[in-house]
Amino acid sequence: MKNDIHPDYHPVVFHDIGANFKFLTRSTMTSKEKIKWEDGNEYPLVTIDISAASHPFFTGKMKFIDTAGRIEKFQKKWGVKKPEGEASK
């Protein structure tokens, strides 16, 4: 590898504020904030909004949005007719 062309790759602690979950990994990100980790060393702290600990796909707690009302509103606005055989409400 060539010298002085690669970014500084170092240990960083990420803090998912939604799940209050912290994990140590390597990254090129930096931060002025620091945190003392379980091993006694101090690492840069980067706060994030979502991680595997709080993302619905990984937690299995999916939130379903009522799209039926949105679809009906769109159809009413643009005059889209319902397909035949669909019961009207």
Per-residue model confidence as pLDDT tens digits over 48-87: 888 877 766 555 665 555 556 777 777 788 876 666 666 6
Domain count along the chain: 1
Q: What is the DSSP letter of 70?
A: H
Judge whether 40 lies within some domain: yes
Query: What is the total residue count of the chain?
Result: 89
Instruction: Flag whether 68 is in a domain.
Output: yes
Residues 6+ apart with CB under 8 A from 71: none
DSSP H helices in the chain:
56-59, 67-78
**Residue 85 located in a structural domain:** no
- What distance in Å separates the CA atoms of residue 38 and residue 23, rounded to the nearest whole number? 10
In tens, the pLDDT along 12-34 reads: 999 988 888 899 999 999 999 99
Decide if 86 is inside a domain.
Answer: no
pTM for this entry: 0.59
Q: Which domain holds residue 70?
A: 10-78
Structure tokens that stand for 73 in this block = 């509103």
